[in-house]
Amino acid sequence: MVVKSRPSTLSVYLYVPNIIGYVRILMNCFAFSICFKDKYLFSVLYFVSFVCDALDGWFARKLNQVSTFGAVLDMVTDRPGLIFLSFLALDIASHWLQMYSSFLVGKTSHKDVKDSSSWLFKLYYGNRKFMCYCCVSCEVLYILLFLLAKKETDNLTDVIKCVIWHVGK
């Protein structure tokens, strides 16, 4: 009988997807530190970080380097900005509850929703193209709103009013 050995804690921290996560954290820290000095460089770095979010999942599956630590790291790196702190708390709480409840019923992934009664969960997690569309649309919206803001103090309402005013001209 072959006994599967568990990876050491240190090796989990050095999984390729987790290293991508660390790079995303550093990239986002730098991006947010310069966001009002160079909006375009910020936007590029933020978008590259978003692309890396897709890559870390791909590498995790391809290299069979899936871990609970990596799943939590991925959730945390998905919402890096101070603006999104309330969304971060909601995102982490909802993902955590979804992951925890999935593991309690014996599933290996929180994305396994084939027996869910929620049509929205089935649509989102069951259709990779739709999930990709939602994720990309959300990130592009964040970047566009940021780029459209004229001043650091502009809030969402100011940006939308400005866009509507310019479109109406």
Amino acid identity, position 74:
D
Contacts of 35 (CB under 8 A, 6+ apart): 42, 146
Is 78 among the residues known to form the active site?
A: yes
Q: Please, which contacts does 129-136 make with residues 24 or more away whose CB atoms are closer than 8 Å?
A: 132/54, 135/50, 135/53, 136/50
Out of 78, 112, 154, 158, pick the active-site residue: 78
Which region holds residue 128: left if phi is over 0, alpha if psi is between -120 and 50, else beta? alpha
DSSP state of 155: -
User: Is residue 78 within 8 Å of residue 92, measured between CB atoms?
Assistant: no
- Catalytic residue numbers, as ranges: 78
